[in-house]
Structure 1
Amino acid sequence: MVTELQYPSPFKTLISFHLLIEKLEEMAKSDVDYRSNYAKSLLKQVENKPELIEGIQDVSFIKENESLIRDLLSDLFPTGLTNNEIKAVTLPFVNFTFNYTQRFRKILDAAGMTFDIEIRDFDEHQFYLMNCYIILNAYYNQKIDSRKPLFYDIPDENGIMNHYRILYNADFIEVTPTEKMVPLTQDEINLLIDNYDDLELWKEKFPPHSWLLKGFGIVTLVDVTVESAVSNLKTNLLKTDTEKQDFEESSEAIFKSIFRIKDVRIGFTKYDEVDKKFVKPPFSENKIISYLLCNLEEEKCDGVLCNFTLDTLIQKKQPLIVSNVEDFQSNVLAERLLSQNVKSCILAPIVKEGSLLGIIEIASSEPRALNSINANKIDLIMPYIVDTVERSMIEFENLEEAIIQKEYTTIHSSVYWKFKNEAQNYIKSSASTKDYIFKEIAFKEIYPLYGQIDIKGSSDKRNQTVKTDLKSQIQTLINIVNEIKKLSNLMILDQKIFELTEFLTELGLPLKADMEQQIQSFIESEIHPLIQSAKVNSTLEQNIKSYFESLDPKTGMFYHSRKDFDHTLSVINKKMASILDEKQIEAQKIYPHYYERFKTDGVEHNLYIGASIAPTIPFDKMYLNNLRLWQLQALCEMELEHHKIKETLPFVLEVTSLILVFSSPLSIRFRMDEKRFDVDGSYNARYEVVKKRIDKAYVLGTQERITEKEKITIVYSHDHEEKEYLKYIKFLQHKNVLETAIEQFEIEDLQGVSGLRGIRVKVVNDMVVEKKYSYQDLLDELN
């Protein structure tokens, strides 16, 4: 064998020139003297080399007879074309070549001696079947069209990958069977044609070395670097995010092939049409940088571009080509590009239907490497870039919509089906001439559950922090003005100190509604101008500077105690809401139900469960019982979590928990004007009245609020509700979730509502939550 094949093959291969020599023998008989003499001369040279006809067994023979073989192939490899054509001798699909044209030899030399030339994306399966197709067409007279583009990827001396289309000439190849050949019927051939993926079947019908491939082929390469790179870029851009590993590196390699420049980098900047600014793309998870923004996240366009570049890129939406950045007149842009070692660049607007989506940036550290001539290549790839950017932005907008749906609207997944049905009805009617009237979205005969974990005394504590910050700021200003007074004889200073002291005295009383605004206005209009214009020494100057640095940038006032309060409130709300949202995933498995929550000074939640919300699933009140037990456990865990974190927070805030029990089914309706659900009907309004007022209610005949810190209060109206929840409490006491003491009391009448009662029980602060208990667990325990 002349060379070992990369993969198993149905062929035994022999390099032979017997068919070419037969052509020469015919030519030697020609009446044209110069052709006849030429053929006779070549035949004289090869008559002592039987290997050329019988088949070359050793690869060293080709090397030793390189000059003779070149003469033999001179008609097929004209000397005049050797610097133009990329051609060599080979066998189809084999990585063994020789007798290169000069251009081919230069390409391989530039790639380096260690480079192994292999067909791109060509595996054992394809190799074996391609050889089988040759047999089927040549011997069995089949007309199998197996043509597919084959490519060599060969780097040049600069490491730029060039791509070459492979063309084979098999005129001098002969296919003959060996003793291992398996004869095939047409039915067997049809079976093979219908089973491309069954490699073992093909090997059974075409065993290895069962056919002889004798002769030589000619491989011709066509440089398709730009076309192939564009195709690769298109494939790269169509990949999903999970497939886009090393996206930037692979894309830059493709751009290097397109522009044939060793040093090419790519960037992208998103354009915000509303605010007329450049923004780093939010969807770019592949570390594509922005050369226009450098290290900034966003910037107004006129902060980056001058009048000329602004007009070119933004107004006219034309590419900006800078062949030598050092000579460029736009100072800001030139400085920014040079700071990133960009010496030449192409900034091309990405435009879709007249709208500017962003700027694709092609950069090089070599001056004039990118210029107005090769900039035209951007037209080849721009359609794919436009589609990719548009698709990415649509995906980002969908993500935004999903976040809005999750965080800001009340269209919960449990009721989404009904909104979807109504939307589909609207779409179906769009072809009609009549205007579609949306039906109201309502759910009847459903059971409500309401609960809250509230910050105890949040309004009073917020007022205290306001007063603390105001007192601290006023005292600081009194000290500064006093120091100024020592350096000046201005009588007005005594007046200002008196007025500040008056405010300080008023802050010792309950905070009035407009007190904060009065003090802020006085300080900004009377005190700040005074201390800013006063003549002071260096020490006092530093004190004044420190004072202004301590002001909140938004309000211009002290924001120290309030900041601790707001941060603490935010952490508690976020933690409580996250626990509730996480546990809701489990609760939906009980029975699909509507869920919404609100963050105020605490976290409130509404649950609605019933057959109308999940009409395809049979409803039973057992699901309601399960959900009530789940709700009680959820509030216990939220209370416990607050107990764990409260000492780590900068401000001490206690919480109280409450559950409102309402056993009568009601209806809810989606309010189109408010974009939220609300109870429907005058009778059901009683439920809403109780919800809004119950946490401020008192135990009947006392001034004691019904809610207390570290305790859960359950408000109900009927004996059967009391009995149900006492079972839950007893069960959770047994599980060491709740303490043993139970308080029961009547609740003062609310406006239009009377007869409410309450149960209050304390959460075990050191409990370890290991398991969530279901209503069935409770029944099993009781039995």
Structure 2
Amino acid sequence: MNVPLFSESPFELQISFHKLIETLENIAQTDAVPYRVAYAQSLLNEVNKVPELREGIHSMDIITKNEPLIKSLMSDLFPTALTNNEIKAVSIPFQNIAFNFTERFKKILEEAGESFDMTIRDFDEHQFYIMNCCLILKQHYNQTLDLSKPLFYDIPDAKGIMHHYRIMYNGDFIELFPKKELPILSQDKIDSLMDNFDNLTLWKETFPPNSWIMKGFGIVILFDVSVENALSNLKSNLLRSEPDQIVRGENIENIFRSIFKVPDLKVGFTPYIQEENKFKMVSSKDKFTSFILLDSEEADCKNALCGCSFETLMEEKKYFSISHISKFSESPANKAMGQHLLSQGIESCIMAPVVKDNTILGIIELASSQPGALNSVNAHKLDIVLPFVTDTLDRYYSEFHNQIDAVIQKEYTSIHPSVSWKFKQEAQNFLVENSQGRDYTLKEIVFKNVYPLYGQIDIKGSSETRNKTTQTDLSSQLRVIRELMEEVKSKNQFLLFEQRIFEIETMLNELSIGINANTELQIQLYIQQEIHPLFENADFTHDGKKKVKAYFDAIDPKMGTFYQARKKFDTTLAIINKKMASLLDEKQVEAQAFYPHYYERFKTDGVEHNMYIGASIAPHKEYNTIYLQNLRLWQLQVMCEMEMAHHDIKTSLPFPLEVTSLILVSHSPIAIRFRMDEKRFDVDGTYNARYEVVKKRIDKAYIKGTRERITEQGKITIVYSGKQEETEYMKYIQFLQFKGILDMEVEQFEIEDLQGIFGLKATRVKVLHVKSGNRHKYSYEDLLNELLN
């Protein structure tokens, strides 16, 4: 009989009980116990009437027809006393053939349903064929092979909960025979098979299909390893899943259902932020399912939990279970929490704190719609689960905090990659020295002989424009207030309203003249303290009430005042800054490729940037002045691109704002030092401080002998002090003029003397607005080629 699970097998299968029959014959002839002899002889008399049981069964009908006899024959191997405990059956290894089930095995299959197909998990035809071949190698060729790969059946119960069973085979009653003479295999051939598990063709050539006979029967024994298997799957899922999938993934919930044997079990997680003492969703991207928060983003712990649950979870850091939430909520102290859970269809639940190093990371929640399904008894199953969940959530929080640190470093206390090596070097010295018991004071980080480059693209007249938008918003608000006050006055003739109208008229007159630093605050306080209380209590007409509502709707909730004009200005400023900063950051990647240098930028009313280049910043690379010249040309070209980018977007901006561009050139190197108190680099020494003074004052400077600012919209102003820098930048300008980026007209002038600063000069040139598709990047090497040609 040949009925394998897969289409091909090296064996022709013959189910036979010949070895067991031989054992009975030996008992009948030699056993000294009379009743055993009598029993064996009686059973043999019945067995001899069905010769196929000894010679080999070629039809499953014979097994079905002789089921009682086979059961008697197997009685020593399948004791009746254990039939409700053991999960056992007669089977053939790796085959989907089984009969003579114990009662427990029968019950498991009945609950799985008629449609259930009992196949081995992750076991394919390739593995099936080679595992059978390995049986031959082990039994007939004396090869030591480990065939103990775990095999599993996944079988659902009547409630749909998946149970996992480890498969164990007993092959004591199986014999293997070659149909012809035993093939001779050299050790080299066997070694070749051992090294080629994936080469099924080679195995089939050595052991062709149906070239051997498997005669006898095996016994399959199953062990319920649902919990162990669920834990293994949980570990695998937690390692590869995104953190939010801990509580949102279907696989994870199925795993917990297998462990707790609750078919409708749902899993939730509520993050806890210790610094704020709140339950809070830490990220919109990784939003966890939370039964405590439900649709809220955050909640105070004591408000979200009842008194007893807060004490158990947050103070004692222990499990808290509610087996019957309906009864639980009958207590006034528990009503709010109980009704919150009942509204989600939850009738029983377990909550457990996830604790790492005595710090609560959050609350894991198990919920069921069945009363009593979850309780304090099965809550302790979490003991085997929580360590894995804790490690995963700890990893997630560590990654999340690393991201926070990265944002802080990028946005607040940036340590640029070009200089991070020196910080790491000093930190390593600190850790090594202190680990050996020696006190070590961190040294200051200083880079000497570096050339500074400074540039800014500034919003022209930003302070005046901001004041005008503030003036516009306040005036608009006061006019609306005056109109509403007039309507109330005409109806009720309140003298108080006449007084307020007079005060508003006075403020409007003052605003028409101008606005100073205190005006905005004074008017805001006046409106909030004097006007709004009147509006809230005044007897308006029906139309007046509509106008009052419209007035309050027009107030920005964050600013507390009208914010239309200022919002357009602030939005425009933010758009320009973001565009300029992102363009500068993007181009910096190219600049770093020339030669590593320190770079930082700041957003104010525009975008400023500092760069420092020199041998001390990149000691592992040979430094040459050509790198400084290349960076200067790069900076000039990028400033041109930023001017062009502003020109491209300014017609679509919500508010008309122009920009001015400036570059400050230093003729000599300076030293920079990292200021620990400010967490940033600054110039080092009194002499070098002159450079910083120039940076702070230069953009407001005038052309010498005039009241004209040195910066002008649409043009780039280059400030320097020496003839050498003037000559160098004129080469760059001529090159960019030749490339159609800068206008042919160049202005050169002296700058008025600043406080303590004398002899500065400037060159100013207009930027031509080249279409973005036609813009090309040029290097210092391109400039040299042009000049040489």
TM-score by structure 2 length? 0.93
2:292 corresponding residue in structure 1: 292
Superposition deviation, residue 240 in structure 1: 5.1
Task: Report which stretch shifted further, 523-532 or 158-167.
Answer: 523-532
By how many angstroms is 1:228 displaced?
A: 1.7
Out of 462, 469, 472, which is 1:465 matched to?
Answer: 469
Looking at structure 1, the residues matched to 446 and 203 of structure 2 have their Cα atoms a distance apart, in angstroms, of: 64
Whether 1:780 aligns to 2:769 is no
Q: What corresponds to 1:771 in structure 2? A: 776
Q: How does 1:513-528 map to 2 (within 5 A)?
A: 513-528=517-532
Q: How does 1:373-388 map to 2 (within 5 A)?
A: 373-388=377-392
Q: Which residue of 2 aligns with 1:23?
A: 23
CA distance in 1, matches of 2:780, 2:663: 17
Distance 2:64 2:481 in 1: 97
CA distance in 2, matches of 1:616, 1:60: 84
Superposition deviation, residue 261 in structure 1: 1.4
Q: Deviations over 1:632-687 (max 9, x none)?
A: 22222222222222222221111111111224222211111111111222332222
- Give 1:180 deviation, angstroms: 7.4
Distance 1:525 1:284 in 2: 42
Query: Partner residue of 2:154?
Result: 153
Shift of 1:183: 3.9
**What amino acid is the match of 1:314?**
M
Q: Name the residue aligned to 1:241.
A: 242
1:529-608 paired onto structure 2 within 5 Å: 529-608=533-612
Secondary structure of 1:313's counterpart equals helix
Secondary structure at 1:698's aligned position in 2? Answer: coil
Decide whether aligned partners of structure 1 residues 180 and 711 sit closer, same or farther in structure 2, where only a CA change above 3 A counts: farther
Query: Which one-letter code corresponds to 1:775 in the other structure?
Result: Y
- The amino acid across from 2:99 in the alignment is F
- Per the alignment, residue 652 of structure 2 pairs with 648
The residue that corresponds to 2:301 in the other structure is 301
CA contact (8 A) 1:595 1:605 kept: yes
Q: Which stretch shows the higher mean deviation, 118-127 or 381-390?
A: 118-127
In the TM superposition, residue 98 of structure 1 has moved relative to its aligned partner by: 2.4
Trace 1:352-363 onto structure 2 (pairs within 5 A): 352-363=356-367
1-structure distance, mates of 2:599, 2:706: 35
* Residue identity opposite 1:487 in structure 2: K
Match of 1:476 in 2: 480
Q: Within 5 A, what are the aligned runs for 1:728-767? A: 728-767=732-771
Query: 1:85-96 residue pairs with structure 2 within 5 A?
Result: 85-96=86-97
Q: Secondary structure at the match of 1:677?
A: strand
Q: 1:626 to 1:74 in 2, by over 3 A?
A: same
In structure 1, distance between residues paired with 2:572 and 2:92 = 77
Specify the alignment match of 2:712 in structure 1: 708
| Percent of matched pairs sharing the same residue | 57
Give, in angstroms, the shift of residue 207 of structure 1. Answer: 6.1
Q: CA separation in 1, counterparts of 2:644 and 2:51?
A: 95
For residue 462 of structure 1, give the secondary structure of its aligned residue in structure 2.
Answer: helix
Distance 1:181 1:723 in 2: 95
Taking the aligned partners of 2:248 and 2:345, their CA distance within structure 1 comes to: 22
Structure 2, unaligned runs of 5 or more: none
CA distance in 2, matches of 1:527, 1:459: 29
CA contact (8 A) 1:264 1:362 kept: yes
SS across alignment from 2:632: helix
Matched, 1:277 2:281: no
Q: What's 2:634 paired with?
A: 630
Whether the aligned pair in 2 keeps the contact of 1:181 and 1:207 (CA below 8 Å) is no
Match of 2:496 among 480, 492, 498: 492
Name the SS for the 1:614 alignment partner: coil
In 1, Cα distance between equivalents of 2:310 and 2:779: 65
Flag the 1:344–1:247 CA change in 2: closer, same or farther, 3 A. Answer: closer
**Relative to structure 1, is the Cα distance of residues 376 and 212 closer, same or farther in structure 2, using a 3 angstrom cutoff?**
same
- Asked if residue 694 in structure 1 is aligned to residue 698 in structure 2, the reply is yes
Question: Any idea what SS the aligned residue of 1:521 has?
Answer: helix
Residue 15 of structure 1 aligns to which amino acid in structure 2?
I
Q: Does 1:328 align with 2:333?
A: no
Task: Give a deviation string over 1:425-478, Cα, whole Å, max 9, x none.
Answer: 111112244321111111122222111111110000011111111111222222
- Give me the whole-angstrom Cα distance separating, in 1, the residues matched to 2:275 and 2:380: 30
Which amino acid in structure 2 is aligned with residue 602 of structure 1?
G
Letter in 2 for 1:163: H
Shift of 1:363: 0.9
CA deviations over 1:474-522 (Å, ceiling 9, x no partner):
2222222222221233323322222221111111223222122222222
Query: What secondary structure is seen at the aligned counterpart in 2 of 1:290?
Result: coil
Instruction: Say which SS state the counterpart of residue 683 (structure 1) adopts.
Output: helix
- C-alpha separation between the residues in 2 aligned to 1:162 and 1:185? 45
For structure 1, the residue ranges without an aligned partner over 5 or more in a row are: none
Corresponding position of 1:113: 114
Q: 1:678 to 1:47 in 2, by over 3 A?
A: same
Q: Which residue of 2 aligns with 1:427?
A: 431
Shift, 1:182, TM fit: 4.8
CA distance in 1, matches of 2:214, 2:284: 54
**1:414, CA displacement in angstroms?**
0.9
Give the drift of 1:334. Answer: 2.3
Question: 683, 687, 695: which is aligned to 1:679?
Answer: 683
Counterparts of 2:758 and 2:14 in 1: how far apart (Å)? 104
Q: For the residues of structure 1 that align with 2:241 and 2:748, how far apart are their CA atoms? A: 60
Helix, strand or coil: the match of 1:689? helix
SS in 2 for 1:430: helix
Query: What is the rounded CA distance, in whole Å, between the counterparts of 1:611 and 1:7 in structure 2?
Result: 73
8 Å CA contact retained: 1:639, 1:657? yes
Query: Cα deviation per residue 1:673-730 (whole Å; 9 max; x = unaligned)?
Result: 1111112223322221221111111222222112111222222233332333233333
Counterpart of 2:376? 372
| Partner in structure 1 of residue 139 of structure 2 | 138
Root-mean-square deviation (CA, aligned residues, Å) is 2.7
Q: Answer yes or no: is the 8 Å Cα contact 1:168–1:220 preserved in 2.
A: yes
> Which amino acid in structure 1 is aligned with residue 622 of structure 2?
P
SS of the aligned residue for 2:699 comes to helix
CA distance in 1, matches of 2:675, 2:742: 39
Q: 1:659 aligns with which of 645, 660, 663?
A: 663
Tell me: CA distance 1:138–1:658, structure 2 relative to 1, closer, same or farther (3 Å): same
In structure 1, distance between residues paired with 2:289 and 2:245:
16
Is the CA contact (8 Å cut-off) linking 2:597 and 2:618 kept in structure 1?
yes
3-state SS of paired residue (1:556)? coil
TM-superposed CA distance for 1:570, in Å, is 1.2
Residues 636/180 of structure 1: CA separation in 2 closer, same or farther (3 Å cut): farther
Indicate how the Cα distance of structure 1 residues 95 and 777 shifts in structure 2: closer, same or farther if over 3 A, else same. farther
When the two structures are aligned, how many residues end up with a matched partner? Answer: 782
Distance 1:689 1:125 in 2: 78
Alignment map for 1:433-444 (pairs within 5 Å): 433-444=437-448
- Please list the CA deviations of residues 213-242 of structure 1 after superposition, one character each: whole Å capped at 9, or x if unmatched: 322110011112122212221222222539
CA distances 1:190-213 after superposition (whole Å, capped 9, x unpaired): 777677777777667666656543
How far off is 1:186 after superposition?
A: 6.3
CA displacement 1:495-551 (0-9 Å, x = unmatched): 222222111111122322212222222223333333333333332233223323322
Amino acid of the structure 1 residue aligned with 2:487: E
2:257 paired residue number:
256
- The aligned residue for residue 48 of structure 2 is 47
8 A contact 1:180–1:207 mirrored in 2: no
- Counterparts in 2 of 1:83 and 1:284: CA distance versus 1, 3 Å: farther
Q: Which moved more, 1:361-370 or 1:332-341?
A: 332-341
Is 2:44 the partner of 1:6? Answer: no
1:737–1:767 Cα contact (<8 Å) kept:
no
Task: Write the distance in 1 (CA, Å) between the matches of 2:9 and 2:621.
Answer: 61
TM-score, L = length of structure 1 = 0.93
Please, which of 388, 396, 401 is the counterpart of residue 397 of structure 1? 401
CA 1:192/1:553 → structure 2, altered by over 3 Å: closer, same or farther? same
Q: Which moved more, 1:7-16 or 1:644-653?
A: 7-16
Preserved CA contact (<8 Å) 2:743 2:767: yes
